[in-house]
Amino acid sequence: MIGILVVSHSAEAARGIALIASQMSGGGAFVRGVGGSEDGGLGTSVPQILEVLQELLRACEGVAVVPDLGSAVLSARSALEFLDPSEAARVAVADAPALEGAMMGAVESSLGSDLAKVVATAEGARNLEKTRH
């Protein structure tokens, strides 16, 4: 099973997006959210990201990280620097819209796909059409 880690500038957004993604996958995927600065404001914290990432790595064979905006990407990448190389090799940061990417990635993960496939599907979420049906 591949875990999904949503990294947002907001703790509430991270939790909410993770909840939506988890439910959309039928509860079949491990989805966690982490966000906000250490003092509870908006922002991202490398140590907090690292902690949740390590929890997911203990439970899952790999983790797809889905950050919301620029500095969440930088913080996620910085967290990888603190992992053992063998652990870091089991993590990939997806270049995807946060909500759609986490949701599509979670659905893909619930089908038993590997990390590369989960990340590719999450990244494909940028092409989701919402209104042109």
Partner 1 sequence: MPFTLEMGRIALAKMDQAVESHREYLTELDSAIGDADHGINMSRGFRKTMEKIQGAEHPDLGALFRDVAMVMMGSVGGASGPLYGTFFMKVSQKLAGKDQVELPQLAEALQEGLNGIVALGKAQVGDKTMVDTLVPALSTLAAEAEGDERSAWDKTVAAAEQGMTSTIPLVARKGRASYLGERSAGHQDPGATSTYLLLNCLRAAALGES
Q: Which residues bind partner 1 (CB under 8 A)?
A: 37-39, 41-48, 69-71, 74-75, 77-78, 81
Q: Which is nearer to partner 1, 69 or 89 (CB)?
A: 69
* Cβ proximity to partner 1, 77 vs 117, nearer residue: 77
Please give the positions annotated as active site. Answer: 9
Which of residues 75 and 110 has its CB atom nearest to partner 1 in the complex?
A: 75
Tell the smallest beta-carbon distance from residue 100 to partner 1 (Å).
19
Between 115-124 and 98-110, two packed helices, what is the crossing angle to 10 degrees? 140
CB of 80 to partner 1, least distance (A): 10
Q: Are 74 and 99 in contact (CB under 8 A)?
A: no
